[in-house]
Amino acid sequence: MVQKSDRSHFLMINGRLKREDNNLRFFKYDENDNVIDSKPLKINAIDEIYILGKIDLDSYTMAFIADNNILLHIFSPFQSFRGNFFPSTSNSVNKSGFVLLQQVRAFDDPKHRLYIAKQITKGHFINGANNCKKYSVEFDTDKYLANLDKATTINEIMASEGAFNKNYFQAWNSIIKNQRSFKFIKRSKRPPTDKINCLISYVNTRIYNIVLSEIYKTELDPRIGFLHEPNYKALSLHLDIAEIFKPIIGDNIIFTMLNQQEITAKDFKTDNGRIRFTNEAIKKIELKIITKMTEQTTLTTQRLTWRQVIRREVNQIKRSVCETSEYQAFTLS
């Protein structure tokens, strides 16, 4: 089955994605990999494709996808994120040599990089604390903000973020009602060791990928972050910006779905000792994320969707990089 909304497509069952003239077509397989159905996908209505099933792709189709600046987000059979296929910067109409140079210079300037990294982390702290306030859970951010203010290196910023997250996640046990199935004990990844970590990892990955898609619509280069260290294999800017929006979007989706029993222990299964969602659970989570991303909020006099808010944030960082203007991360009171 192919699910679509807000220019995102989800391939959740086995099949083949193939270029057909100047569009795409998805061929659905049965259990013996025989084609039993097909559906056209209009190329001009797609920004990103999420692959959660076993999908056959040929190089001709992948080149066509890249030429049209479409991102592929690939997940394993256990729903853990495995990587992106993204257009080269030479394909993108949005990229600018000037902006790239300014972005590199800002990264190489310890003072400028530290400034942007601190503002991103400050936004993360405030938005997380506001979640606690929303649920009448006491959480004091003053000591974390004070440590952040005193930080003189990226490692010290990351340490202050680690201390914040440790106590912030513990506060979830006062927010989430079902403590029998979803008590938070310790953050675990690759693979998650319990249901709450499985849910956090999946939703966070979706936020990362949404942010990456919005970065591609701007002039900034996703390879050069300020808080997370760039390396030879990974993109990093989307990890930075996602820190601002994970509490606002991802965490609130988790709280709502668990407290309203939209996700329960029955939505998980264990395969070969690893926890994963049922397909029905993924559909419920994706519907919630899609609904949230198309929801509008008011900024000054503008009504913007959350995707537009994220893209605005990327452009705010671009202005700081190119014009050395002040930057304050988005916070939601």
pLDDT digits (tens, 9 = 90+) for 78-111: 666 677 777 665 445 566 788 999 999 999 999 9
Give the homologous superfamily in CATH for domain 97-323: CRISPR-associated endonuclease Cas1, C-terminal domain (1.20.120.920)
Q: What is the pLDDT of residue 46?
A: 82
> 259 or 270: which carries more pLDDT confidence?
259
> 249 or 62: which carries more pLDDT confidence?
249
Q: What is the pLDDT of residue 37?
A: 84
Mean pLDDT of the chain: 87
Which residues are 74's β-sheet partners?
51, 83
Q: What is the pLDDT of residue 6?
A: 62
Q: How confident is the model at residue 3 (pLDDT cuts 50, 70, 90)?
A: very low
For residue range 186-232, list pLDDT tens digits in order.
988 878 888 999 999 999 988 998 998 899 888 999 889 999 887 75
Mean pLDDT of the region 317-321:
94
Residue 238 has pLDDT above 90, yes or no: yes
The CATH architecture that domain 2-68 belongs to is: Ribosomal Protein L15; Chain: K; domain 2 (3.100)
Structural domain boundaries in the chain:
2-68, 97-323
d(CA 165, CA 254): 16
- Select from 195, 208, 213 the least CA-distant residue to 257: 195
For residue range 266-292, list pLDDT tens digits in order.
998 887 778 888 888 888 888 898 889
Helix (H) or strand (E) holding 145: helix 142-150
